[in-house]
A = this chain, B = another copy of it.
Amino acid sequence: MSDLIKSAAELLGQLRKSKPLVHSITNYVTVNDCANIILAIGASPVMADDIEEAADITAISSALVLNIGTLNKRTVESMLAAGKRANELGIPVVFDPVGAGASKLRNETTQTILSEVKVSVIRGNMSELCFVAGLGSNTKGVDAADEDISSGNARKIASIAANRYNCTAAVTGAIDIITDGKRIAAVSNGHRLLSDVTGTGCMTTALVGAFCGAGNDTFVAAAAGIAAMGIAGEIAYEKAGESGTGSFHIAIIDAVSRLDEKILRERARLNEI
């Protein structure tokens, strides 16, 4: 078993003990799943996106998740205010640049957030991280295209993004790559059916936020959150994959709620590379 798996399992134990409050300013498509998966992993969710309270709610939280899936002018301002407060207080910020590359608004917002807020972790698919890394993108809406998932470029892209923003960057796909610019890890957990349920990317980011709220090493936290989602996808497929994507969706939450250190240690395919 890799040291990284041990660290991830320990962090899960800490998370379940400390029940960190995770503040998310996120999209309305997948917000219910994000709240439920944060509860399932053992943390406590709060969603608050009004400018008059966003920073105050961040201040009582252990992590902040920013997700631009259904961004609008009102909530982007709240994201910036919450992000700046998080920075002042040393609270980790996890950023999911959903659909970066797909519209001018998403591109500009991604750049604004990354220039005004110091983020701890950026997680996205290949085309989103390509945009973050400054390499353009070729996106089909907000879902990862198959070519992206199988691409071997994830390692390069993640490293550029991590160095550019001095943070942990994670590209998720068939193989997930996580790097903080010094260490680099690969996760090969997961299941193809995860891309047939909306919000599995958002939920992964939410899990990363929960792990970030439980410890100080954002590289380990990102790896743990991504591995947790991959393992949950595998278990969910075993339980419910044949029934259809509705049952599979529910089984993902089930699996996360039942995930413990032992299961994580046994099933994680997570290694520094």
Contact = CB atoms under 8 A, between A and B. Distances in A.
A26 to B, nearest CB: 9
A33 B46 CA distance: 17
A243 B254 contact: yes
Contacts of A31: 28-29
A112 interface: no
Contact of A247 (B44, B46, B254): B254
Nearest to A52: B105
Contact of A103 (B48, B72, B74, B104): B48
A49 B61 contact: no
Interface residues of A, number: 61
A53 B246 CA distance: 30
Given A39-B197, A102-B57, A253 B257 contact: no
User: Is chain A's interface secondary structure helix, strand, loop, or mixed overall?
Assistant: mixed
- Copy number in this complex? 3
Contacts of A49: 70, 72
Interface string A239-265: 000011111011111111110000000
A218 interface: no
Interface of A: 21, 23, 27-33, 35-36, 39-40, 44-50, 52-53, 56-57, 60-61, 69-74, 99, 102-106, 140-143, 196-199, 243-247, 249-258
A183 to B, nearest CB: 32
16 contacts: A29-B32, A29-B35, A32-B32, A32-B33, A35-B199, A36-B197, A39-B197, A40-B196, A40-B244, A44-B140, A48-B103, A57-B102, A60-B141, A61-B141, A246-B253, A250-B250
A94 B104 CA distance: 25
A22 to B, nearest CB: 9
